[in-house]
Amino acid sequence: MSKDRIETKVMHAGETVPRVRGAVCMPVFQTAMFEYTGEKSYDDLRYIRLNNTPNHEVLHARIADLENGEAALVTASGMAAITTALLTVLSAGDHILAQSCLYGGTHDFVTRDLEKYGISYDFIDGSRPETWNDLLRPKTRAIYVETMTNPLLEVADLEAVADFAREKEIISIIDNTFATPVNFRPLEAGFDLCIHSCTKYLNGHSDIVAGAVIGTKQLIGKITRTLNHLGGSLDPHACFLLERGMKTLAVRMRQHNESALRIAGFLEKHPLAERVNYPGLPSHPGYSRAVKLFKGFGGMLSFELKGDVEAAERFIKALKIPIIAPSLGGVESLVTRPATTSHAGMSPVERKKLGISDRLIRLSVGIEATDDLLEDLELAMHSLS
């Protein structure tokens, strides 16, 4: 762990010493295998799938340092990080507690795939720690949450999650994609494993799919062995792009934080908006926890407008700057209706139970000029009347 501030770490943490032939940027080692130099075990052979090329090593050290963890592992996608971590930590007969509102892919994996491995689950309400103990079983091995939920940006009692896991000797896992280590570092708060979809803010440029998991050397070592066999390894060129994207993480997050906070405030005051979900608004149920734990509130927000689904669609289509697309966390603003994209896999009943209405609009605030985004939103409001 280096003492540098995060703005410096994103640039230099994990660099090779000396630099490769003096190169200021880490070159791409586009080679599947490396010469044998007497490695003793299969996992130590140098091969892209074994996650140990120079491009992997630099990224591992940098991401571990950003999250103040001992070790990190990059993966071919956020879902590869999540599934590989869960399949490492859980065995047949085990049980996991998971937050009720999860990223769609994670939700499906927990509810549909884990069963095939003989692993059971229960959902918890992240803001009611007093209810968790009753769901604990002798074979409960892990508790899984997200820093902020999608698309309502709920903030679970994260400190209680880490404490509960320590007390019950189970593994606490958190998907920190929405916060990034700039806004929140879960390992410092006592979590055992921190996961990212690097597709989002860590890379930040909407041009690759990647994931990461950070934790102790021991846990990351075990997850690496699983990944070595499951094969969801990141290729060196994507490693290079991720490293490049991460260099601007701190400045990007500063702009995302500032801009989304202003936009959320604007929407909340707007007579045509009904409900705005952003953890930086005092009206948000997670506000006090967010203020205590996070350095910034991130670039994601969601809202409902007066009127029906058609009005929401009209509004989205009237926007000129945000692109209508799924995914999030890039430099360009993106807008979607979660009922048709991120949460289309859920039944309307399930969505309703979680509070996700069909007219809910989700905005991933990019780093365009905030004033331009505000003008764009205001003009689109006129399409409602």
Ligand X SMILES: *Cc1c(COP(=O)(O)O)cnc(C)c1O
Taking the C-alpha atoms of residue 135 and residue 250, their distance in angstroms, rounded to an integer, is: 39
* Angle ∠(261,177,265) on CA atoms, nearest 5: 10
Q: How far is the CB of 277 from ligand X (least distance, A)?
A: 15
- Cβ-in-10-Å burial (0-12, 13-18, 19+) of 260 comes to buried
Catalytic residue among 157, 175, 192, 235: 175
User: In 213-251, which positions are buried (b, 16+ CB within 10 angstroms) versus exposed (e)?
Assistant: bbbeeebbeebbbbbbebebbbbbebbbbbbebbbbbbe
- The residue (of 105 and 355) whose beta carbon lies closer to ligand X is 105
Q: How far is the CB of 241 from ligand X (least distance, A)?
A: 13
287 annotated active-site? no
Residue 135 per-residue DSSP state: G
Q: Where along the sequence are the contacts to ligand X (CB under 6 A)?
A: 77-79, 103, 105-106, 146, 150, 175, 177-178, 197, 199-200, 209, 211
Pairing outcome for strands 273-277 and 193-197: unpaired
- The residue (of 173 and 377) whose beta carbon lies closer to ligand X is 173
Asked whether 220 and 177 are in contact (CB, 8 A), the reply is: no
Please report, for residues 39, 79, 209, 232, 328, the alpha-carbon distance to residue 83 in angstroms, rounded to integers and kept in the order given.
29, 6, 15, 10, 20
Q: How far is the CB of 205 from ligand X (least distance, A)?
A: 14
- The residue (of 45 and 323) whose beta carbon lies closer to ligand X is 323
Q: How far is the CB of 326 from ligand X (least distance, A)?
A: 9
Taking the C-alpha atoms of residue 174 and residue 145, their distance in angstroms, rounded to an integer, is: 5
Supply 318's token pair: 């009237």
3-state secondary structure of 121: strand
Catalytic residue among 62, 65, 103, 278: 103
- The residue (of 144 and 178) whose beta carbon lies closer to ligand X is 178
SS (H, E, C) 198-229: CCCCCCCCCCCCCEEEEECHHHHHHHHHHHHH
103 annotated active-site? yes
- Residue (of 110, 299, 71) closest to 194 by Cα position: 71
Asked whether 371 and 360 are in contact (CB, 8 A), the reply is: no
Q: How far is the CB of 273 from ligand X (least distance, A)?
A: 24
200 annotated active-site? yes
Q: Residue with CB nearest ligand X? A: 78
- The residue (of 209 and 381) whose beta carbon lies closer to ligand X is 209
Catalytic residue among 141, 200, 252, 337: 200
362 annotated active-site? no
State the residue for tokens 């799938």: 49
- The residue (of 67 and 268) whose beta carbon lies closer to ligand X is 67
- The residue (of 54 and 286) whose beta carbon lies closer to ligand X is 286
Supply 321's token pair: 């700057």
User: In 107-119, which positions are buried (b, 16+ CB within 10 angstroms) versus exposed (e)?
Assistant: bebbeeebeeeeb
Q: How far is the CB of 177 from ligand X (least distance, A)?
A: 4
Q: How far is the CB of 281 from ligand X (least distance, A)?
A: 20
State the DSSP H helix or E strand holding residue 164, giving kind and residue range, or none if neither: helix 158-168
Catalytic residue among 43, 47, 49, 262: 49
Q: Which residues are catalytic?
A: 49, 103, 175, 200
